[in-house]
């Protein structure tokens, strides 16, 4: 009996985690859930725009007219994804497209007047979304969390 125990212990020392793998403790899984929660909070405050669409408008407000590809880089979207997002924003009249004079490959994107109005109107809501997402944490915890999260992203 004690012989079996010792054998088990030896095995455990070599592979202490072989038996239990707890999905709900893995970063990836919790990261996915935290992201889901944020998207849900976002949707509750801004129903007619998705987070990626909002990101595109907010970044265009920052940098002004840019190429579609460059915008994608700035908001961490690959070319295929950003195209869909911009197409839908264009269909709603929030951005307008034009051809680059010099480099004919580039498709320039810019806010329309309506798009600018929309993003200015939505930013206060976005601040509230950030607040609500972080509400489970204290001010000090928020500072710590944001610092560490930034390291992972």
Q: Which residue has the tokens 């307008």?
A: 96
Q: How many CB atoms lie within 10 A of CB 23?
A: 8
What is the smallest separation between the CB atom of 150 and DNA, expressed in angstroms? Answer: 18
Q: With beta carbons less than 8 A apart as the criterion, state whether 56 and 86 touch.
A: yes
Assess 90 for contact with a second copy (CB under 8 A).
Answer: no
Residue 107 interacts with, from DNA, a second copy, none (CB under 5-8 Å by kind): DNA
Q: Which does 50 bind (CB under 5 to 8 A by kind): a second copy, DNA, none?
A: DNA
Identity of the residue, 104 or 121, whose beta carbon is nearer to a second copy in the bound complex: 121
Q: How far is the CB of 83 from a second copy (least distance, A)?
A: 17
- Give the span between the Cα atoms of 126 and 151, in whole angstroms: 23
Q: Using CB under 8 A, pick the residue from 43, 107, 108, 134 that binds a second copy.
A: 134
Per the listing, tokens 């990836």 go with 28
| 31 is a contact residue toward a second copy (CB under 8 A) | yes
The tokens for 47 are: 């129903």
- Side-chain half-sphere exposure of 1, counting CA atoms within 13 A: 0
Report residue 99 as tokens: 């051809």
| Residues engaged in binding a second copy (CB under 8 A) | 17, 21-23, 25-39, 42, 51, 55, 58-59, 61-62, 75-76, 123, 126-127, 129-130, 133-134, 136-137, 141, 144-146, 148-153
């Amino acid at each position: 009996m004690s012989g079996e125990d010792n054998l088990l212990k030896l095995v455990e020392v070599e592979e202490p985690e072989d038996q239990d793998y707890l999905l709900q403790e893995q970063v990836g899984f919790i990261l996915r859930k935290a992201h889901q929660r944020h998207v849900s909070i976002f949707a509750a405050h801004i129903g007619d725009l998705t987070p990626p669409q909002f990101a595109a408008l907010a970044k265009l407000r920052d940098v002004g007219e840019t190429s579609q590809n460059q915008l994608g880089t700035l908001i961490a979207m690959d070319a295929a994804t950003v195209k869909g997002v911009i197409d839908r924003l264009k269909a709603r009249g929030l951005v307008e497209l034009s051809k680059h004079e010099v480099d004919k490959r580039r498709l320039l994107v810019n806010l329309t007047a309506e798009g600018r109005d929309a993003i200015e109107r939505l930013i206060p809501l976005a601040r509230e979304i950030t607040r609500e997402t972080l509400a489970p944490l204290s001010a000090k915890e928020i500072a710590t969390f944001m610092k560490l999260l930034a390291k992972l992203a």
